[in-house]
Amino acid sequence: MSASRAAGCRRMRAVLKSLVLEPDPATLPADAVEFAMLARMMIGPADAAGEESFDVTVCTPEWLARACSDAGGIYNARHHLVVDLESFDQRALHAWLSARVQEVEAQTWSGIGEKLSRLGFWEFEDYTA
């Protein structure tokens, strides 16, 4: 492949630009036995301005078991990330999510969005033109 043709095949990469957890983990009771929180990731191109939201529910196995029971025994857990209650660490979560995002590359931003939507709900996931 020629150098000019190879240059035209440059792949885009994504980066986690910010992460907001709702509720703030600092507000969880010290004696919590389960939790679930929304993690809103703002993700954009590594080499350009702009970002789009990807949401994932961060929860404990205990919360997930209760949600499954409350739903009648079957619970669609798409866009969920299960964490251990005792060892939950917000910095470790941020690092883990950032690493997953940085692994993604594609020819187009739409291609990146499609791949990242396997991890979190992309704000344009079901968008059709």
% of the chain with per-residue pLDDT over 70: 91
The residue type of 6 is: A
The DSSP-derived string for 80-121 is EEE--TTT--HHHHHHHHHHHHHT-EESSHHHHHHHHTTTSE
Tens digit of each residue's pLDDT (9 = 90 or more) over 49-92: 999 999 999 999 999 999 999 999 999 999 999 999 999 999 99
Residues 12-34, mean pLDDT to the nearest whole number: 95
Residue 19 has pLDDT above 80, yes or no: yes
Residues 21-43, mean pLDDT to the nearest whole number: 95
**pTM across the whole model:** 0.86
